[in-house]
């Protein structure tokens, strides 16, 4: 059964008006009507609210059924995280920098206080951090960075890294956790040395990371 048919059936079974549901969800009755006739679909945040309103799982709400995967229920209290769009953190040789601040939402079952969230790209920080994971970043005092895994912005070269950093006299050394080598013994991900100047910006310390929980 399609989403539009499911919500219409739920509304009728519960003897509710479109206006009442719309008021409870903080939307217009016209928006709810479009949901029911299939001309519009809610975003993930609204989808969660609708599922919570009817006290069912998101999977049930969208008609997802599978014996191979566990249905994800709202009773698990998934936590939404706002991830910066178009800005992945390089666990490799450095990604291009962008000022883009639009976000998208992912979910996890752990509640962590954070200031920024961004996706990790690359394998240089394995086995602790994996490509596709979401890094949670917290701003902290500059003296707390040395020896920690942090996000660092090389403004001059337009690169943003997630690395273990070591603050030295005139340089900041970025260390990868992945110590894999080529056949000749050289590190695949050698340390990166950056001049410790005003063009180097420490964004924050990585306090946690996770693989987003997919809501079917």
User: Which CATH number goes with the domain that contains 60?
Assistant: 1.10.260.40
Calpha distance 3→36 (Å, rounded): 8
- 40 and 102 together in one domain: no
Is 0.95 topped by the overall pTM?
no
CB 54 within 8 A of CB 72: no
- 119 and 52 together in one domain: no
Q: Is the pLDDT of residue 94 over 70?
A: no
- 63 and 86 together in one domain: no
Q: Is residue 86 one of the residues assigned to a domain?
A: yes
Q: What is the pLDDT of residue 138?
A: 92
- 94 and 124 together in one domain: yes
User: Percent of the chain scored above 70 by pLDDT?
Assistant: 82
The predicted model gives 21-28 an average pLDDT of 92
Q: Is the pLDDT of residue 100 over 60?
A: no
- 22 and 84 together in one domain: no
CB 117 within 8 A of CB 135: yes
Of the listed ranges 41-45, 63-67, 130-134, 197-201, the one predicted with least confidence = 63-67
């Amino acid at each position: 059964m399609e989403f539009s048919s499911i919500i219409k059936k739920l509304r009728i079974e519960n003897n509710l008006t479109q206006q009442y549901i719309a008021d409870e969800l903080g939307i217009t009755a016209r928006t709810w009507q479009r949901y029911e006739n299939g001309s519009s679909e809610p975003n993930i945040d609204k989808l969660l609210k609708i599922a919570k309103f009817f006290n069912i799982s998101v999977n049930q709400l969208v008609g997802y059924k599978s014996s191979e995967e566990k249905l994800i229920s709202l009773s698990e209290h998934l936590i939404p995280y706002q991830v910066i769009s178009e800005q992945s953190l390089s666990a490799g040789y450095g990604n291009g920098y962008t000022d883009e601040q639009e976000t998208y939402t992912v979910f996890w079952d752990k509640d962590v206080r954070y200031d920024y969230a961004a996706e990790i790209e690359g394998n240089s920080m394995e086995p602790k951090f994996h490509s596709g994971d979401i890094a949670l970043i917290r701003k902290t005092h500059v003296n707390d960075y040395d020896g920690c895994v942090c996000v660092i912005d090389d403004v001059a070269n337009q690169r943003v890294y997630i690395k273990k950093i070591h603050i030295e006299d005139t340089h900041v050394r970025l260390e990868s956790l992945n110590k894999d080598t080529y056949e000749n013994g050289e590190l695949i991900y050698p340390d990166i040395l950056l001049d410790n100047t005003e063009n180097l910006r420490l964004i924050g310390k990585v306090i946690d990371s996770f693989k987003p929980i997919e809501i079917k």
